[in-house]
Amino acid sequence: MDFSGSHILSIDQFNRSDINALFSAAEALEPYATRKKLTRVLEGAILSNMFFEPSTRTRISFGSAFNRLGGAVRETAEMSSSSLAKGESLADTAQVLSGYSDIIVMRHPENGSVDEFAKASKVPVINGGDGSNEHPTQALLDLYTIKKELIQNNKTLEGLRIALVGDLKYGRAVHSLCKILSLYEDITINLVSPNELTLPKKYISNSKIQINESESIEEGVSEVDIIYMTRIQEERFKTVNEANRYKGLLSLSKEIYTANCEPNTVIMHPLPRDSRKESNEINADLFDNPNLAIFRQADNGVVIRMALFALVLDVLDQVKDTSRKVNWKTTKNI
Ligand code: NCD
C-alpha cells in the first residue's frame, strides 16, 4: 500500500511488507513515544478525533500520538454534541470536517459507517472502530505487542499458537486480529467462545491456518503462546439481559492458568476488561503475573498510531529534522 494520503479503513488493505514498514516506523519513533526525544514534525497539522461511541484508550492514544508528533487535536466525543444528532448525513459531516482538519479518526456504532464517511472526505480517515466490524489499528498494535512479547520468550511469529477467548461474534478487535493473522502461515488459532458467539468465518481468510474451536477455556488455553481475552460486547445485544447470559462463562484465573498453560504464556486483552464480579474476565489473582501484558499492549497504541500518522502524512523522514531533547522530567520511568 502507498500509505501517503491513504484512508486506513480495514486490515484488508495491508500485506506483510506494509506491516513491516509500519513496525520499522514504530521502532524509529519509540524514543519519541517514550519521551526520550521530542519532535514537532506535525506542527500546524490538525487531527479531528470523532468518537461516536465510548472510548478511552483509542481516543486518547490517537490524540497523544498526534500531539507527540507536534500536531493539534480537536475532538467530538458524543453523537449528541455533533450535528449528526440533527439529522446531518455522514457525507456532509465528512465534507465539513475535512475542510477543518488534515486527518480524521472516526469511531461509529454502525458497520461500514467509517467507509461511507471516508468516501466524502477530502483528507485521510482512519477507522477507530465501526460497529462490530473492524478495528484495524487495534490489530496493528496487537500484532506489534505479540511480536515484542514473543521475542522476550525467544519466539517469533513463525509457528504462533494463540487462543482468542470470549465474544468472538461481535468483537471487532478479534475480527481485525484474525484478518492480520491470516497474512501469516504456520499459525494455530484456538477459538474459545460460547456456541452462540462464535467467530464469523469470513474474518479468517487463510486456509493454511489451523483452527480449533471449543467452549472450554481450560482446553483452549493449553499449548498456546498467547491468550487473548475479550469482553462480552453488551452494547451489540438487543438487551442487556441477553448479554448477561454470557458474562462470567469464560474467565481466566490463576488456577486455570497454572493447571493448563505452558510457562510464560502471555495474557493480552484489548481492554476495557469487565472487572465486575459477574464478568471478571481476568481474575485479580493474575494481576501480578509478569506475563500479563495488557498495559504494555495499551502503551503500544501510542507508538503504532504515531507510526501510522507519520506514514499517512508522509513525514517519517523529517522527524529527526525537528528532533530535540526532552526538557521535563516525569516522575516515573516509562
Ligand atoms: C475495544 C473496542 O472498542 O472494540 N476496545 C478498544 O478499542 N481497545 C474492545 C472492547 O470494547 O471490548
Cα–Cα distance for residue pair 115/101, rounded to 1 Å: 18
Distances (CA, A) of 196 to 5, 66, 143, 153, 189: 40, 39, 27, 35, 19
- The mean of the pLDDT values for the chain is 95
Q: For the domain 136-295, what is the CATH superfamily, name and number?
A: Aspartate/ornithine carbamoyltransferase (3.40.50.1370)
Q: Which position has the higher pLDDT, 329 or 72?
A: 72
- Pull the grid cell for residue 73: 487535536
Strands 125-130 and 103-108: parallel
pLDDT digits (tens, 9 = 90+) for 75-127: 987 666 667 767 889 999 999 999 999 999 999 999 999 999 999 999 999 99
11-133+301-325 has CATH 3.40.50.1370 classification: yes
CATH fold match for the domains 11-133+301-325 and 136-295: yes
Collapsing DSSP to helix, strand or coil, 112 comes out as: coil
Residues composing the chain: 334
The pLDDT value given to residue 334 = 57
Domain boundaries, the chain: 11-133+301-325, 136-295
- Pull the grid cell for residue 30: 519509540
pLDDT at 252 over 80: yes
**Ligand 1 centre from 108 Cα, in Å?**
12
78: left (phi over 0), alpha (psi -120 to 50) or beta: beta
Cα–Cα distance for residue pair 10/7, rounded to 1 Å: 9
What's the number of CA atoms in the CB half-sphere (13 Å) around residue 164? 30
pLDDT at 153 over 80: yes
Mutate to test the pocket of ligand 1, among 105, 127, 172, 230 (most ligand atoms within 8 A of CB): 172
Residue closest by Cα to atom 2 of ligand 1: 173
Are 137 and 128 within 8 A, CB to CB?
A: yes
User: What is the mean predicted confidence (pLDDT) over 259-275?
Assistant: 96
The pLDDT value given to residue 116 = 97
pTM: 0.96
The pLDDT value given to residue 331 = 66
**Which atom, in ligand 1's list, is nearest to the CA of 231?**
12
The pLDDT value given to residue 333 = 61
Residues with CB under 6 A from ligand 1: 57-58, 129, 135, 138, 172-173, 231, 233, 270-272
pLDDT digits (tens, 9 = 90+) for 161-198: 999 999 999 999 999 999 999 999 899 999 999 999 99
Cα–Cα distance for residue pair 328/310, rounded to 1 Å: 24
**Ligand 1 centre from 320 Cα, in Å?**
33
- Pull the grid cell for residue 125: 480517515
**Ligand 1 centre from 332 Cα, in Å?**
27
How many whole angstroms from its chain centre is CA 195? 25
pLDDT band at 249 (very low <50, low <70, confident <90, very high): very high
Looking at residue 200, what DSSP letter applies?
A: P
